[in-house]
Amino acid sequence: MARNRYDVDETLEDHFDINQLKRLGGYVKPYLGKMFFIMVLMLSSSALTMLIPKFVQLEMDRYIPQKDMNGIIRLVIYTFLIVLYSVICMWLKIDQMTKVGQDIIHEIREDLFAHLQELPFSYYDERPHGKIQVRVVNYVNNLSDLLSNGILNTITDLCNLIFILIFMFCTSPKLTWICLCGLPVLIIYVVVLKRKQRASWQLQSNKQSNLNAYIAESINGIRVTQAFVREKENIKIFNSLSMSYRKAWLKAVYYNFMMSPMVDLISVITTSFVYVVGVSCILGGGRSGVTVGVLVMFTAYISRFWQPINTIAGFYNSVLTAISYLERIFETIDEPVEVTDAPDAVEMPEIRGTVDFDHVTFSYEDGIPILKDVSFHVDQGQTIAIVGPTGAGKTTIVNLLSRFYNTDSGCVRIDGQDISKVTLHSLRTQMGVMMQDSFIFSGTIMDNIRYGNKTATDEEVIRAAKTVRAHDFIMQMEDGYQTQVNERGSRLSVGQRQLISFARALLNDPAILILDEATSSIDTETEIALQKGLDELLKGRTSFIIAHRLSTIQGADRIMYVDNGNIMEAGSHEELLARKGLYYDLYMSQYQG
C-alpha cells in the first residue's frame, strides 16, 4: 500500500489466485447445510416448472383439437399449484440467503477489524487511514450480492441447465444441437474478456481507495483547510480524484455489460435457426416429429436454456469483481502482526518498577536508526524525565517500553524480565500511557475516563479526575460526567482533552506511568495545580515524563537529554545545570531573562 498518499494507486503484483475463492469458501462452509436445503427447494421448483411448456404442448396438440375442457382445466390447476410452490420457494430463498450472505459478511468484517486491532503502530504510520477504512466497509459490502445470491443461483442454474438439456434432447435432439452451436463462441468470448475485466475492477478499487483516503484526510484537517482558505484547492483535488474514480467505474461496468449482450445475441441467432429448421420440418409434413406444439414447447425451453447461462455469465462477472476486493481484504488480513506474543510467552508478574534498556537499537525505516545502542537503568519508584530536540527519539523510548514496536537489537527489561517474552495484555494492563495525541472517543466524559478500566466505579473515575484537576471543569459542563462529547473531543479545549486523557491513564493505578507531553497544552495555573496532585501520585511509582516545558520536570530523580539517537547527558536538574552542557543550553533558552 502506498505510504501516506491519496494520489498513488495501490499495487498487487500477484496474478489471479484461485486460493482467494477457497478462503472465501471457508467462510461459506458453516452455512452449507442451509444452502443445500434452499438449493433442493429451488431445484424441485425448477424441475416442476419444466412441465409447464409440456402442458402447453399437450393443450395445443391434444386437448384443444379434441375440445377436452376437463383436460385443459386440470392442466391449469397443475400450473397454478406449480407456480404457487415456486413463489413460496423463491420467498424462502430470498429470506434465508439474504441472512446467510449478511452473516458471512459480518464474519469477514469481524476478522478484518479484529486483525486491525492487533497490527502495530508501524502499519498505521505508513498507510492513509481512509485506504484502510474502505477495505473494512466498502470492499466487504461489495461481496454482499455474490454471497447472498450469486453462489446459490449459479449452482441452482447449473442444475437447471442439466434439466433443460434433458427435456430439450427428449423433445428434439436435432433442434437441441442447433441451439448448442452458440456455446463455443460464447466460451471464446469469455476467455478474451476475462483479463480486461479483472484489470478494470482492480483499477476501480484503487481509485475508490484513493478517493476515500482523501475524504478522510480532508475531514480530519477541515480546521486547517478553513484557516488557510484552501477550500477551492481541495475541491479541485477532490473533483480530480472523483472523476478518476468515475472513469474507472464506467470502464469496469462497460466490460461487465459486454457479457449480457453477447449472450442475448447468440440466443437470438440460435433461436432464429431453430425457428427456420422447425418450421421447415412442420411444412415438410412433420415426418421428423416436429409439430406446432413441439416447436412452441421447444422455444420455451430455449429461453429457459439461455436464462441460466446469462445468470452464470453474471456470476462470472461478480466473481471477477469480488476477486479484486477479496485480494485487498485478504492482503490486510495477511498483514503480519510484527508485535505479538511469542509462542512461549508468559504472564508478566506484578510489576515492581525497575527498568533496563540494554544496548537497544531501533529504526522505523531500514538503514535509518532512531536509537543507537541505548542503555540505561531505572530503579523502582524513580521519576525519569526525557528531554531533547524534536525527532531525537524521546517518544520512541517510551513506545519501546510499552512494546508498541519491537527493537531491532538489544533488550528492554522490566524487573529483570525481557518484555518480548511476556504477553502484551499482561504487560500493558500494568502500565498507564498518555500520548501526545489526546484522543477523545464519542460518548460521555465518564466513558472516556473509564475507557481503559471498564470495571472502575464512578467514585474511582471522579477520584482520578480530581487528582489531575479535571473535576472542576467537568462539573461546570451541562451534564457533568455524563456530558456527551464528540469524536476527537471537538467540544473540549486542547487542555481539557489532555486532562481527561491524563485521568484515563491514572485510573488504571499503573505500576509504570508514561506521560508523553502530558502538560504541553495546559495553562500555567492548571499546571501548578496538576503538579500538586502528581507529586502524591508519583510516590513509589516508576514514571517516565517527556516534556519540552522544563518547569514540569525539575523535580525528577533523573533527567536524560536525548539527541542523535543517544543519551547525551543524564543527571538531576541541578547536576545538569552545573555541567553547563546541552541541558543547560536548553534550560537557559527557555528561562533566559
Q: What is the DSSP secondary structure assignment for residue 407, as one 8-state letter?
A: -
128 touches 2 (CB < 8 A): yes
Determine the pLDDT at residue 375.
94
For residue 446, name the pLDDT band (cuts at 50, 70, 90). Answer: very high
Determine the pLDDT at residue 177.
86
The CATH classification of domain 438-509, taken from the options 2.60.40.10, 1.10.3720.10, 3.40.50.300, 3.40.640.10: 3.40.50.300
Provide the pairing of β-strand 566-571 with 409-414. Answer: unpaired
372 touches 566 (CB < 8 A): yes
Per-residue model confidence as pLDDT tens digits over 313-322: 767 767 777 7
Per-residue model confidence as pLDDT tens digits over 96-117: 888 888 888 889 889 988 888 8
Determine the pLDDT at residue 400.
92
Determine the pLDDT at residue 411.
94
| Beta strand residue intervals within 213-366, DSSP E | 355-365
Phi-psi region of 256 (alpha: psi -120 to 50; beta: other; left: phi over 0): alpha
* 115: CB partners within 8 A, 6+ apart: 332, 333, 335, 337
Place of cell 508485535: 339
Which residues sit opposite 485 in a β-bridge? 443
Cell numbers given for 237: 483535488
Average pLDDT over residues 565-588: 91
pTM: 0.67
Range with the largest mean pLDDT of 213-217, 245-249, 436-440: 245-249
For the cut 90, the answer to whether the pLDDT of residue 432 exceeds it is: no
CA–CA separation, 270 and 272 (whole Å)? 5
354 touches 542 (CB < 8 A): yes
Q: DSSP states of 429-457 as a string? A: TTEEEE-SS----SEEHHHHHGGG-TT--
Average pLDDT over residues 549-578: 89
Nearest to 318 by CA among 558, 153, 460, 107: 153
Question: Does 349-430+511-593 carry CATH code 3.30.1490.20?
Answer: no
Delimit the domains of the chain by residue range. Answer: 19-333, 349-430+511-593, 438-509
Element (H, E) at 185: helix 183-220
Residue 333: is it exposed, middle or buried by C-beta count within 10 angstroms (0-12/13-18/19+)? middle
Determine the pLDDT at residue 527.
65
For residue 386, name the pLDDT band (cuts at 50, 70, 90). Answer: very high
Q: Check for a shared fold between 349-430+511-593 and 438-509.
A: yes
The CATH classification of domain 19-333, taken from the options 1.10.3080.10, 1.20.1560.10, 3.40.50.10540, 1.10.3720.10: 1.20.1560.10
Q: DSSP states of 51-100 as a string? A: HHHHHHHHIIIIIHHHT-HHHHHHHHHHHHHHHHHHHHHHHHHHHHHHHH
